[in-house]
Amino acid sequence: MADDAEITERADAPALERWEALRTRELIGQATGVLMWQRQCGPDEAVALLVKLSQDTNTTLREVARTFLGDFLSSGPAAPGGTASSPA
């Protein structure tokens, strides 16, 4: 027989899954926005680039987006069109 903690944990699992799905969607949306800005492209092209990288590297789309955003934030933004911007 399940104890109270196990029942609570199972009851919270769907809520946790929904939370993770929202976080994944947010990450992919942010990465899409950065790509749109950098490459001056539309959302379909930006998502296609993320999906291609995901498939080419056999990595989840969530992980591709997370890594891309981490790299973007650590290296500083590039000017639209892919050239590096210089700090003012």
Q: Give 85's pLDDT tier (boundaries 50, 70, 90).
A: very low
Domain ranges in the chain are 7-74
CATH topology of domain 7-74: Arc Repressor Mutant, subunit A (1.10.10)
Band of the pLDDT at 4, cuts 50, 70, 90?
A: low
Please give the Cα distance from 66 to 15 (Å, whole number). 22
pLDDT band at 21 (very low <50, low <70, confident <90, very high): confident
Question: Is residue 49 within 8 Å of 56, Cβ to Cβ?
Answer: no
Q: What is the pLDDT of residue 46?
A: 98
Summarised one tens digit per residue, pLDDT across range 52-78 is 999 999 999 999 999 999 999 998 766
| Confidence (pLDDT) at 87 | 38
- What does the pLDDT read at residue 2? 56
